[in-house]
Amino acid sequence: MFYQTESKPQCWRAVAVFDDGRDDCLIYLGRSSTHIRAGYVEAFLDVLDDEEREHVESIALQRWHGAPDAGRWMHQTNLKVPQPVAKLARSA
């Protein structure tokens, strides 16, 4: 039997954690923490609508630990939750 696996799996992700009890939401997936940090803000604005963005409590940076088919996501740190442009303009 032959199992096809990726030679280098994507092993980092950014996940939105909501404050109202709904399930977490995958925002961005990549090969390194640097890649995630460079692209998660744009993905946050693209993936979530305005109502969902208002309920984001934190954004977790997670790393896959273990074999591609037998591992788990490990929390590394929290990323800064992007603020809507309108909110920034009002606070200035």
Question: Residue 75 belongs to what H/E stretch?
Answer: strand 70-79
74, pLDDT greater than 60: yes
Please state, in angstroms and rounded to a whole number, the distance separating the CA atoms of residues 4 and 23.
Answer: 30
Helix, strand, coil abundance in the chain, percent, nearest 5: 30, 40, 35
Could you read off the pLDDT of 6-46 as tens digits, one per residue?
555 569 999 999 999 899 999 999 999 999 999 999 999 99
73, pLDDT greater than 60: yes
Mean pLDDT of the chain: 86
pTM comes to 0.79
Beta bridge partners of 14: 28, 61
Ramachandran angles phi, psi of 30, nearest 5°? -160, 180
